[in-house]
Chain A
Amino acid sequence: MRNPYLPMEAEVSGRIEEAPGMFTLELRLSDGAQRERYRFLPGQFNMLYLYGVGEIPISLSSDPEEREVLGHTIRAVGRVTRAISRLEPGTRLGLRGPYGRGWPMAEAEGRDLVILTGGLGCAPVVAAIGYAMRRRQRFRRLVIMQGVKHTADMIWRARYDTWAQAAGTQVLLAADVAEPGWRGQVGPVTPLLEQADFDPDLSTVMMCGPQPMMLDGARRLLERGVADDRIWLSLERNFQCGVGHCGHCQLGPYFVCRDGPVFRYRDIRWLFGTQGF
């Protein structure tokens, strides 16, 4: 019997403290054949299982071509994530996936790519950014926008610095609360769209973050002339099974775990932002 809910064993091969309460776990599937078979796309997620505690959905934040270890960036907020945050390298846990529909990397080729993220929203898109940077010639301009509550939450600053140096690439950062010496914007990230250099008719936008931020971002992008089927959003919902069975993640007619978590804005626009959905 093929049990679609059965995890594979994985080992914590690295743990990177990204910010207070935020960390990246590098996981290596124990079984060589499983490691060989495993493939994912940026934007997909895994269910991670902590022994005796339970499962939690976590986005993959590493590059899909990095086959040895799978990166998962996690904020410790709930029962399982807090327990997972204490794991040391060498600890074993369970992993099943990947689940869901990832970012439209192929569709974005030959176009300007705008990536707009807020908070830890950067985790689901960081794999997409890395993907585009490694295949830079396939994309036109690349605009990376990231907003956080506090500058202390701004992880991966070195990467942003490197990305900002790349040709045809613009990095725009914002923080609601800034520490001294902050050179980015103070306030929300979405108004920075006015400074973003991209062709609205020839752009693909990938957005991830808090709902109000994404709603405001979508509004500004539409005003700028980006079509609603070129704007993509990654949604977070209560994922328990990952295969569209348990029912918790439903957004109207959609099972977000299976039909998403990445959606065209056009498809969900009629319901997205309505309280309770």
Chain B
Amino acid sequence: MSSIRFLARAGLDSLFHALGGAGYRCIGPRVRDGAICYEAIERAEQLPLGYGDRQAPGEYRLEQGDGGRCFAWANGPQALKPLLFGPRETLWRTSTDESGHIRFESAEPVPERLAVIGVRACDLAGLALQDKHFLHHQEDPWYAARRSDLLLVAVNCTHPAATCFCASTGDGPKVQGGADVALSELDEGFLVEAYTDAGRAVCDALSLQEASPEQQARARREIDAGAARQVRRISGRNLRSALFANLDHPRWSEVAERCLSCGSCVAVCPTCFCHAEREQPSLDGGSSEHLRQWDSCYSAEHSYIHGRLLRPDTRTRYRQWLTHKLGGWHDQYGRSGCVGCGRCITWCPVGIDITEEAAGVCSGEPAP
């Protein structure tokens, strides 16, 4: 008997009930401010039914049609990253008394069972990379606490945007692990496949039928067709040597003429991990909070060392971002830091395309 089952469209609410019944708070895709955002969700009817999207360099538009699907769009600006690596996190609090002593108090993570519905393959790949960064060398307590209770209901992507290139990085559009449950959306309902005990426990509470071979073949065809529609790609080979061999390539200056150094690409990237530590003293001076917040290698302060900036201009900052993303990550975590989600292309206000820039810089690679 196949482990792939079928959930009728009318039964989708039972997934929300099963998750709620198992004590999970649900996060899922919802339409807000003209984009698909991952937010608290309680019912299937809150999903973006009938919505599609149009993405291009520097452009994102939601379009409402009369389609009957809930996941017929590519990713919005964020998915998992802000849920685990909080944009702003208090690390500790401190207070002082008349004797001049300073008391330090750790800020504790608040445990919560979170289930995320609608996660895409690229986001699972991004999550695996953030796991390596925040858990492997030195465990980050906040990330670890949220990660350990996280349940992931992924959806195989059938509607990649023009900016997507996960097929070329090998990270999508089909879910390849890292989730508890994976769904494939068909017109009549969903194919459901559980990968973990937690996922099987949720699926046991659903009214599932046998998925026919025809349904399974149709779902596979839709995923394959989505992969085939992707027009962008990043070379599958390791670009580390090519990038670092071309640090003086004129392309860096050329892209710096267009780049606004705004850091949008960093904010939407599912793997970017930089954060700055900040101090927030109370007005009366009696206490202070030490927190971290997302930072970007495009900011001036990022490279500050005792009174000077190591990266004073956009050329060196863009170069830092790209050589790290597609180069340094290989040394640090054994693979490229890019998962092909294309967000940095869509959300760049001037439409800079990482695939074009990487190709442009690496084209100057000296002959081996």
Residues of A within 8 A of B (CB): 1-9, 30, 49, 51-55, 75, 77-78, 81, 90-94, 236-238, 240-241, 243-248, 250, 252-253, 255, 258, 270-271, 274-277
Closest 6 interchain pairs by CB?
A: A276-B316, A253-B331, A247-B274, A52-B281, A3-B106, A54-B279
Question: In the complex, are the beta carbons of A248 and B274 less than 8 A apart?
Answer: yes
> Which one of B273, B306, B323 contacts A75 once the chains associate, using CB atoms below 8 Å?
B306
Question: In the complex, are the beta carbons of A245 and B275 less than 8 A apart?
Answer: yes
Closest to A247 in B: B274
Q: Tell me the complex Cα distance, A94–B105, Å.
A: 12
> Which one of A7, A91, A244, A276 contacts B319 once the chains associate, using CB atoms below 8 Å?
A276
Question: In the complex, are the beta carbons of A55 and B277 less than 8 A apart?
Answer: yes
Known contacts A92-B100, A240-B276: A245-B138 contact under CB 8 Å: yes
> Which one of B102, B133, B137, B305 contacts A51 once the chains associate, using CB atoms below 8 Å?
B102
Q: Tell me the complex Cα distance, A30–B306, Å.
A: 29
Residues in A neighbouring B331, C-beta threshold 8 A: 252-253
Question: In the complex, are the beta carbons of B306 and A52 less than 8 A apart?
Answer: no
Q: Tell me the complex Cα distance, A75–B307, Å.
A: 11
B244 within 8 A of A: yes
Q: Tell me the complex Cα distance, A3–B21, Å.
A: 32
Q: Tell me the complex Cα distance, A104–B138, Å.
A: 23
Closest to B279 in A: A54
Stretch of B188-196, B231-239, B296-304 with 4 or more beta carbons under 8 angstroms from chain A: B296-304
Q: Tell me the complex Cα distance, A52–B104, Å.
A: 12
The number of residues on chain B lying at the interface, defined by a beta carbon within 8 Å of a beta carbon of chain A, is: 57
B292 within 8 A of A: yes
Q: Tell me the complex Cα distance, A276–B297, Å.
A: 11
Main secondary structure of the interface of B (DSSP, over half): mixed
Residues of B within 8 A of A (CB): 91-92, 94, 96, 100-104, 106-109, 133-134, 137-141, 145, 244, 247, 273-279, 281, 285, 288, 290, 292, 295, 297, 302-307, 310-311, 315-317, 319-320, 323-324, 327-328, 330-332
Nearest-CB distance from A258 to chain B (Å)? Answer: 7
Residues in A neighbouring B94, C-beta threshold 8 A: 49, 51, 94
17 A-B pairs besides A92-B101, A252-B328 with CB distance below 8 A are A5-B91, A6-B106, A9-B103, A30-B101, A51-B102, A54-B277, A54-B278, A54-B279, A81-B306, A92-B100, A94-B104, A238-B304, A245-B133, A246-B274, A248-B302, A276-B303, A276-B311
Question: In the complex, are the beta carbons of B328 and A253 less than 8 A apart?
Answer: yes
Residues in B neighbouring A276, C-beta threshold 8 A: 303, 310-311, 315-317, 319-320
16 A-B residue pairs with Cβ-Cβ distance under 8 Å, sorted by A, are A3-B92, A4-B140, A6-B104, A9-B104, A49-B94, A92-B101, A236-B305, A238-B305, A241-B275, A244-B138, A246-B292, A246-B295, A247-B274, A247-B275, A252-B328, A276-B319
Closest to A10 in B: B102
Closest to B282 in A: A52
Question: In the complex, are the beta carbons of B304 and A93 less than 8 A apart?
Answer: no
Nearest-CB distance from A75 to chain B (Å)? Answer: 7
Nearest-CB distance from A179 to chain B (Å)? Answer: 24
Question: In the complex, are the beta carbons of A52 and B288 less than 8 A apart?
Answer: yes
Q: Tell me the complex Cα distance, A1–B307, Å.
A: 36
Residues in B neighbouring A245, C-beta threshold 8 A: 133-134, 138, 140, 273, 275
Nearest-CB distance from B356 to chain A (Å)? Answer: 21
Main secondary structure of the interface of A (DSSP, over half): loop
Closest to B103 in A: A9
Q: Tell me the complex Cα distance, A89–B91, Å.
A: 28
Question: In the complex, are the beta carbons of A94 and B304 less than 8 A apart?
Answer: no
Question: In the complex, are the beta carbons of A241 and B100 less than 8 A apart?
Answer: no
Closest to B139 in A: A4
Residues in A neighbouring B305, C-beta threshold 8 A: 236-238
Question: In the complex, are the beta carbons of B273 and A247 less than 8 A apart?
Answer: yes
Residues in A neighbouring B273, C-beta threshold 8 A: 245, 247
Residues in B neighbouring A236, C-beta threshold 8 A: 305-306
Question: In the complex, are the beta carbons of B104 and A8 less than 8 A apart?
Answer: yes
Residues in A neighbouring B275, C-beta threshold 8 A: 241, 245-247
Q: Tell me the complex Cα distance, A55–B104, Å.
A: 14
Nearest-CB distance from B146 to chain A (Å)? Answer: 13
> Which one of B102, B276, B302 contacts A92 once the chains associate, using CB atoms below 8 Å?
B102
Residues in A neighbouring B141, C-beta threshold 8 A: 1-4
Nearest-CB distance from A103 to chain B (Å)? Answer: 20
Question: In the complex, are the beta carbons of A52 and B285 less than 8 A apart?
Answer: yes
Question: In the complex, are the beta carbons of B277 and A240 less than 8 A apart?
Answer: yes
Q: Tell me the complex Cα distance, A238–B244, Å.
A: 22
> Which one of A7, A8, A54, A238 contacts B303 once the chains associate, using CB atoms below 8 Å?
A238
Q: Tell me the complex Cα distance, A91–B303, Å.
A: 31
Q: Tell me the complex Cα distance, A274–B310, Å.
A: 10
Q: Tell me the complex Cα distance, A21–B298, Å.
A: 31
Nearest-CB distance from B271 to chain A (Å)? Answer: 11
Closest to A243 in B: B138
> Which one of A77, A258, A274 contacts B307 once the chains associate, using CB atoms below 8 Å?
A77
Q: Tell me the complex Cα distance, A51–B279, Å.
A: 9
Question: In the complex, are the beta carbons of A238 and B302 less than 8 A apart?
Answer: yes
Question: In the complex, are the beta carbons of B303 and A248 less than 8 A apart?
Answer: yes
Most interface-central of A78, A243, A248, A270 (chain B CB within 10 A): A248
Nearest-CB distance from B234 to chain A (Å)? Answer: 19
Question: In the complex, are the beta carbons of B244 and A270 less than 8 A apart?
Answer: yes
Q: Tell me the complex Cα distance, A240–B301, Å.
A: 11
